[in-house]
Amino acid sequence: MPSDPGGDMPFRVVAEAFSSMERITSRTQLTLLLSRLLKDAPPGVIGKVVYIIQGKLGPDWKGLPELGVGEKLLAKAIALAYKSTESSVDKLYKNIGDLGSVAERLAREYRARGSKGVTLEAFMDRGREELTVTRVYTTLYRIALAQGEGSRDLKLRLLAGLLADAEPIEAKYIVRFVEGRLRVGIGDATILDALAVAYGGGVHARPVIERAYNLRADLGFIAEIVASRGVDALRGVKPEVGVPIRPMLAERGRDPGEILKKVGGRAIVEYKYDGERAQIHKKGGEITIFSRRLENITRMYPDVVEMAREGLRAENAIVEGEIVAIDPNTLELQPFQVLMHRKRKHDIHRVMREVPVAVFLFDALYVDGEDLTQAPLPVRKDRLASIVQESDSWRMAEYVETDSAEEVWNFFLKAVEDGAEGVMIKAIHRESVYTAGVRGWLWVKLKRDYKSEMIDTVDLVVVGAFYGRGKRGGKLSSLLMAAYDPERDVFPTVCKVATGFTDEELDRMNEMLKPLIIPRKHPRVSSKLEPDVWVEPRIVAEILGAELTLSPLHTCCLDSVRPGVGISIRFPRFIRWRDDKRPEDATTPQELLEMYRRQLRRLEEEAEAGL
Ligand code: ATP
């Protein structure tokens, strides 16, 4: 087939696969097609193919520079590559509405004219070469690395050179990649499935691949191991200091007695601090901090870097804690919003004094060569305590160990009084390992409600928006929100949210949405409604609702309760943006279904009690 097992792969194969994927809506077929592409990719380039599919040059946490090619420069490169003019590119763009298709068309016409290359620059004089994945990836990488004086010109030449050698179909996807609009409908979950099919004989091999990915959040790296040494080689993957581990997540509960039963009777009950989760990596004197969505946030917290350097008595370690804003005078805990306010400010050194933070450490995942992710929680806690040198603002999270529901309640009330969001109830039995990237019943959160009648808040992804009327006319003022379904790797809609926004927030939201507007529904969105504009699923918001209802308009949990109906939220209200969450971290249909069932049970109980 198309690839040379030891070497490279024609980029055309990738571009053609993208083209087919665009026409497919069935997830099974998409996975199959992708698995064929990945199977054909030689081990040396499969990592690059995976990054390209993700629309990236590497995992986000590496903090690679952006490509830095705006629409104007891109149009210029297309014009240069195909001996056209910027104004013709612009005109075509206005007609077609997609720069990728413009490049495809101009490349085709250029070929038809039988030109041999562009004369303007020396590098364009040579004959055309077939593009390989490596050449495309490396050139894009060089474009990203080009910074500073003269970089605009260098970016232009590199890109035009690449496009000049591209087949029309290749040009289309190169341009879309550069624009950040690849949108072939593939998320990480589908890539994991496709790797399992390609190299593990079927989706049953996915758990092994996923576990390794959860411990080393780099899909390109994981793909390379699978392709070169097989799925079994992944069993040996261990955490590595400097590479983020996907965070373990908690289920939600309401009743302490029930929760205790779920986690195995006796448990650790710990303050649930209302701040930003931080995974802190220490390698000698070097400290790196990763956020909940695995972004490198080290630069934002020079104070935490200092605390970690002083307060971790280990050469190499990975620990987790919550960074919380504290009142500089009283050292009392401040709400999440105060910390977010600090994060938006640019003069970090000044704001550091105005809004100091404290770190409350709750887990240790790796200490000096020892992988603790497979150890039960009490062992991890002991290791953590043994390496943490506490100070006022660098402390172990507050916790008690108990099997009494009453004690849980009392501790919960104390936590809330101290400014925490509630408590985390954590299993301590032999199997209480650190389940990276998994939301399960080993950790259960019990949160104070925002309002007493509240079901709970959910985190949903913006997938579309509607224009307002009257005072809000002309502005996008209501949002179409979706959950994330990890099984199908799609975003099914849940509700429309129009309340909870201040005028100021509304303006900010309009600015935020503008670059994310897309001409058509995103392929990973499942919706029966047609909003005024479709939006790339990127932004997550926390939504509060009065209750869950059945709805024929929404696709979340479609057919789960009754045929043809989904689950929606009544009177949803915007609470805050969750910049710390990826779209794939949104609430799942499974969770909503459980919440719906709990709500039904509560209503039945209330009815029985004659309330
Ligand atoms: P939420 O939306 O409730 O903040 P989440 O979806 O971000 O939760 P969950 O796993 O549901 O993530 O809740 C755990 C979160 O609570 C963690 O991500 C972490 O940021 C925070 N947290 C605060 N205190 C603790 C603690 N003691 N142990 C674990 N997580 C804690």
Mean pLDDT of 143-155: 93
424 lines ligand 1 (CB under 6 A): yes
pLDDT tens for residues 196-238?
999 999 999 999 999 999 999 999 999 999 999 999 999 989 9
pLDDT score of 603 more than 80: no
**For the CA of 459, the nearest atom of ligand 1:** 2
Question: Strand, coil or helix: what is 168?
Answer: helix
Up-side HSE of residue 607: CA atoms within 13 Å toward CB?
6
| Annotation: CATH topology of 71-179 | DNA ligase i, domain 1 (1.10.3260)
250 lines ligand 1 (CB under 6 A): yes
Per DSSP, helices labelled H in 201-301 are 206-215, 219-229, 256-263
Mean pLDDT of 55-67: 92
Q: Select from 428, 319, 425 the least CA-distant residue to 379.
A: 428
> Are residues 242 and 61 in contact, defined by beta-carbon separation less than 8 angstroms?
no
Provide the pLDDT for residue 453: 42
Provide the pLDDT for residue 517: 94
Q: Return phi, psi of residue 568, to 5°.
A: -130, 175
pLDDT score of 26 more than 70: yes
CA 249–ligand 1 middle distance (angstroms): 7
pLDDT-derived band at 455 (thresholds 50, 70, 90) equals low
The class of domain 11-55+185-236 in CATH terms is mainly alpha
Mean pLDDT of 307-336: 92
Provide the pLDDT for residue 472: 74
Distance CA 154, CA 468 (A): 44
Which comes out higher in pLDDT, residue 414 or 169?
169
Which comes out higher in pLDDT, residue 374 or 120?
374
Distance CA 362, CA 321 (A): 5
CA 322–ligand 1 middle distance (angstroms): 8
Mean pLDDT of 510-515: 94
CA 430–ligand 1 middle distance (angstroms): 22
Pairing between strand 491-497 and 525-526?
parallel
**For the CA of 421, the nearest atom of ligand 1:** 23
Mean pLDDT of 409-428: 90
Q: Select from 454, 517, 448, 85 the least CA-distant residue to 272.
A: 448
Q: Quick check: is 76 catalytic?
A: no
pLDDT score of 607 more than 80: no
What's the mean pLDDT when you consider all of the chain? 90
Q: Return phi, psi of residue 208, to 5°.
A: -65, -45
∠ CA 172-175-178 to the nearest 5 degrees? 150
pLDDT tens for residues 555-579?
999 999 888 889 998 778 899 999 8
442 lines ligand 1 (CB under 6 A): no
Other Cβ atoms within 10 Å of 403 Cβ, number: 11
270 lines ligand 1 (CB under 6 A): yes
Amino acid identity for residue 169 in this structure: I
292 lines ligand 1 (CB under 6 A): yes
Q: Residues spanned by CATH 2.40.50.140 within the chain? A: 458-607
Residue bearing the CA closest to ligand 1, atom 18 = 277
**449, 566, 591, 603, 609 from 596: Cα distances, Å:** 17, 11, 9, 11, 20
pLDDT tens for residues 37-51?
999 999 999 999 999
Q: Which of 245, 273, 357 to probe ligand 1 with, by most ligand atoms within 8 A of CB?
A: 273
Up-side HSE of residue 549: CA atoms within 13 Å toward CB?
11
Distance CA 169, CA 150 (A): 30
pLDDT score of 451 more than 50: no
Residue bearing the CA closest to ligand 1, atom 10 = 249
Q: What is the CA radius of gyration of the chain?
A: 26
Mean pLDDT of 372-393: 96
Q: Residues spanned by CATH 1.10.3260.10 within the chain? A: 11-55+185-236, 71-179
pLDDT score of 136 more than 60: yes
**N- to C-terminal Cα separation, the chain:** 70
397 lines ligand 1 (CB under 6 A): yes
**For the CA of 580, the nearest atom of ligand 1:** 7
Q: Is 448 exposed, middle or buried (0-12, 13-18, 19+ CB in 10 A)?
A: middle
> Are residues 378 and 338 in contact, defined by beta-carbon separation less than 8 angstroms?
no
pLDDT score of 366 more than 60: yes
Residue bearing the CA closest to ligand 1, atom 27 = 272
Q: What is the DSSP string of 100-112?
A: HHHHHHHHHHHHH
**For the CA of 447, the nearest atom of ligand 1:** 3
Q: Token pair 């309640």 is at which residue?
A: 409
Distance CA 442, CA 161 (A): 54
Of 140-154, 428-442, 465-479, where does mean pLDDT reach its minimum? Answer: 465-479
- The DSSP secondary-structure symbol of 573 reads E
Helices 405-417 and 256-263 cross at an angle (nearest 10°) of 110
273 lines ligand 1 (CB under 6 A): yes
Task: Looking at the structure, give the CATH architecture of the domain made up of residues 249-447.
Answer: 2-Layer Sandwich (3.30)
Residue bearing the CA closest to ligand 1, atom 26 = 272
249 lines ligand 1 (CB under 6 A): yes
Residues in Cβ contact with 158 at an 8 Å cutoff, skipping those fewer than 6 apart? 139, 142, 143, 146
List the catalytic residue out of 155, 172, 272, 426: 272
Tokens at residue 512, please? 């935020």
pLDDT-derived band at 454 (thresholds 50, 70, 90) equals very low
pLDDT score of 127 more than 70: no
Question: Strand, coil or helix: what is 299?
Answer: helix
CA 516–ligand 1 middle distance (angstroms): 28
272 lines ligand 1 (CB under 6 A): yes
Distance CA 361, CA 384 (A): 8
**Torsion on CA atoms 97, 101, 105, 110, rounded to nearest 10:** 110
pLDDT score of 367 more than 50: yes
**For the CA of 251, the nearest atom of ligand 1:** 11
Other Cβ atoms within 10 Å of 80 Cβ, number: 23
> Are residues 443 and 425 in contact, defined by beta-carbon separation less than 8 angstroms?
yes
pLDDT score of 122 more than 70: no
Q: pLDDT above 70 covers what percent of the chain?
A: 94
pLDDT-derived band at 6 (thresholds 50, 70, 90) equals low
Looking at the domain that runs over 458-607, which CATH code has it been given?
2.40.50.140
Sign of CA dihedral 192, 198, 199, 205: positive
Provide the pLDDT for residue 123: 47
Amino acid identity for residue 26 in this structure: S
pLDDT-derived band at 128 (thresholds 50, 70, 90) equals low
Which comes out higher in pLDDT, residue 575 or 473?
575
**For the CA of 248, the nearest atom of ligand 1:** 10
Per DSSP, helices labelled H in 280-376 are 302-311, 336-344, 348-354
Amino acid identity for residue 194 in this structure: A
Distance CA 293, CA 437 (A): 10
Provide the pLDDT for residue 481: 98
Residue bearing the CA closest to ligand 1, atom 20 = 277
pLDDT-derived band at 473 (thresholds 50, 70, 90) equals confident
Per DSSP, helices labelled H in 8-85 are 11-23, 27-40, 43-54, 71-81
pLDDT-derived band at 502 (thresholds 50, 70, 90) equals confident
Mean pLDDT of 89-117: 87
